[in-house]
Amino acid sequence: MEKPLILVTNDDGITAPGLRKLIALMKQLGEVVVVAPDSPQSGMGHAITIDNTLYSKKMTIDKDNGASLEYSCSGTPADCVKLALQELLPKKPDIVVSGINHGSNASINVIYSGTMSAAIEAGIEGLPAIGFSLCDYKWDANFDGFDKEIKQIVSEALTNGLPKGTVLNVNIPKTDGKPVKGIRVCRQAKANWKEKFDKRFSPSGKEYYWLTGEFELLDKGEDTDIFALNNNYISVVPTQFDLTAHHAMQTLNNWNLNE
C-alpha cells in the first residue's frame, strides 16, 4: 500500500526540537514533507502575509532523521500551510500535523496559537489536521514519554478521518520523560489571562511596554483539557473554526432590527 503523505509544520521554527521530534514520529507512519517558518512565530494566531513578499527555501536539517522534503518559509504558520498546499507539495496530503509546540495551547490559548492556526488552515481546506503542544516552554524540553500516544492519535485520524469542520487540539502534560496516564477527549476549559503591561524604559529613555500576565482558570469541571493535563493525561479537544454562536441566533432574531 502507498504510504500516506503527511505535511508537518509548526510555529516555533523549522529547527525547533519539538518539530524535529514530530517529524521523526511521522516518518514511522508515512512520507513526510515539512513546510515551517524560518523563524519563531509564536502567538501569531491566524495571521497571513498580505503586504510583503513570501520566500521559501528547500533545506536539509537532519540528514539521518529528516523528512523527504523540507522547506523553510518566511511567513506565518498559516502562510506555511497555504504555500505548501498551493505550491510546494507534490500532491494533496492525507493529513496535516502541527507542532510539537513548546508550551500549552489548552483552553483560551488556542485563540492565540500559531500552531493551532496552521492546523485550522488545513481544516478550512478540508484536510484532517491536528495541532500538538507540550506544556513546557523550554527550548530544550523533554519530548520523550508520549511517542505511542501521538502516533495512535494520528493513526486513528488517518484511518477514520475527522468530523467535517473539525480539527484536533492535542495538549501533552509536562512529563520529563515519564509515561502519561492515557488520552482523554475533553472540552476546552473556560479561562482567561489577567494581563498586565510592564512599563519600561530603553537606554535612551524611550518608554515601552512588555506584556505579562497570569492564567486564570474559571472552570472546575473534570471534563476539561486543563483538568486532564493537571492529572497527567493527554487532552484531545475537537475544535471548530465556524465561529458562529448558534445558541445566540434566536435571541438576536427577537431584536427589533428591521423597524
Domains of the chain: 5-189+221-253 (3.40.1210.10)
> pLDDT at position 177, please?
86
Contact 214, 208 (CB under 8 A): no
- What's the average model confidence in pLDDT over 44-62? 91
| pLDDT (tens digit per residue) in 95-142 | 999 999 999 999 999 999 999 999 999 999 999 999 999 999 999 999
Q: What percent of the chain has pLDDT over 70?
A: 98
pLDDT value, residue 42: 86
Q: What is the mean pLDDT of the chain?
A: 94
Residue ranges of the binding site for a divalent metal cation: 11-12, 42, 101
- CA dist., res. 4 & res. 158, Å (int): 8
Distance CA 134, CA 116 (A): 13
Q: Is 48 exposed, middle or buried (0-12, 13-18, 19+ CB in 10 A)?
A: middle
Which among 76, 84, 62 is positioned nearest to 129, based on CA atoms? 84
| Range of weakest confidence among 162-171, 181-190, 208-217 | 208-217
Binding site: which residues?
Answer: 11-12, 42, 101
Residue 68 is predicted with a pLDDT of 78
Q: What is the pLDDT of residue 176?
A: 87
Instruction: Dump pLDDT digits (tens) for 189-205.
Output: 999 988 889 999 999 99
Q: For residue 66, what pLDDT band results from cuts at 50, 70 and 90?
A: low
Report how far residue 31's alpha carbon sits from residue 38's, in angstroms, rounded to the nearest whole number: 22
**End-to-end CA, the chain:** 63
Q: 6-46: per-residue pLDDT in tens? A: 999 999 999 999 999 999 999 999 999 999 999 988 888 99
| pLDDT exceeds cutoff 90 at 208 | yes
Find the DSSP H helices in the chain. 17-26, 77-83, 114-124, 147-160, 225-230, 249-253
Phi/psi at 98 (nearest 5 deg)? -125, 135
The proportion of the chain whose per-residue pLDDT surpasses 90, expressed as a percent, equals 84
